Structure formats: structure tokens, C-alpha cells
Amino acid sequence: MWRVTTAQGVTRKGVTSCAQSASPLAAPKVPVNGEWELSAISADAANDVWATGFVSNADGLVQHAIVEHFNGTRWSLTRAPDLGPNYPINTFNAVLAISPGNVWAIGQSATGNTTLPFATLVEHFNGTNWTVQSAPANGANNVLSFDGLVTTGSGTLWSVGSRNPNGTTNWQTLTARYS
């Protein structure tokens, strides 16, 4: 049976689970007219489920990547670190739970200035903390975003996404490997 759970007082869809019953999501503090969105989910066990997305202000010019974790009993919320002070827009598009101490989330960060590039956002959870990891460089006027993530089981991660090498409407597919 599929059951959709939502946070109280938030009108966006929540995480979908296949449990016979579901606990409410932990709702982030959403600014007035702001948005909360979860876009990816991964689990390595029934008591280790991860969902990622973002919370934003009303105009969308400040977004913080968020992580929801289900420990088998309840959901808890964590705000992941932003890429840096020059990147107020941070979102996760994919998450991969390998083990309780090895979880990866990927997406993109942006400056909010349309003339400056997006940056790839890669973060890792080591069982205690989320930390920003090194990511492929964009170069000037590049837009680079990761949207999917898998592992081969040997410590190698594969990601797919898209890039815009010159800031026009000419997008290219992207595949990246991390080991």
C-alpha cells in the first residue's frame, strides 16, 4: 500500500512511503509564502530512509538544501550546509543512501545573479555530519547541475545531469564519476 505523508501546516506534497502506516514529516520553518519541496528519496534499510530537497523564501532567492531522515519510527529534519556565502540558492536533486554512515546528496547552488554560473552541490553524510564535498568545476558562464546518483558498490559513484557551457539555450547531457 502506498501512503502519502505530509507535514502539518504545509501544503506541498511530502514523502511517499510503502509502509502500512506513516509518521508525519518533520516540517521545516517555511517563511511566509515560501516553499518546501522534497525531490528525492533513498533507503539502505527500513530504518534508514533519506529524502532531500529545499526550503525557500517567498521570492526564491534564498534556498537551503534540506534532508529528512526516517529512523524506522519518526522523521527528523536537517538543514544541510550551503555551498558558501556567495551561493544563497542551494537545492538537492538526488540522494543515495549506501549505509547509515555513508549517504550522498547532489544538486546545485546559485548566486541568484543570472550572469554568474551555477555550481554543482555535492554533500556527504558520514553518520554524524553533512559536509560539502569537492565537485566538478563549471568554468565561466557554465551552468552545471546533477540530477541522478548511483553506486556500483565498489566505492564509485556515478551521476548524471546537464550543463550549459556558454550560458545559452544549448544544453548538454552530463555524466560524472567519483571514486
Could you tell me the pTM of the whole model? 0.82
Give the count of domains, the chain. 1
Strand partners, 124: 104, 131
pLDDT of 72-124, one tens digit each? 988 888 889 999 888 888 999 999 999 999 999 999 888 877 666 678 899 99
What is the Cα–Cα distance from 1 to 101, expressed in whole angstroms? 29
Burial class (CB in 10 A: 0-12, 13-18, 19+), 57: middle
| Residues whose CB is less than 8 angstroms from the CB of residue 171 and which lie 6 or more positions away in sequence, other chains included | 162, 163, 164
DSSP, res 45? E
The secondary structure of 63-119 as a DSSP string is EEEEEEEE-SS-EEEEEPPPSBTTB-EEEEEEEEEEETTEEEEEEEEE-S-TTS--E
Which residue range is the domain that position 173 belongs to?
Answer: 3-178
Q: What CA dihedral angle connects 151, 156, 159 and 164, to 10 degrees?
A: 180
pLDDT of 29-60, one tens digit each? 666 678 888 889 999 999 999 999 998 888 87
Which one-letter amino acid corresponds to residue 146? F
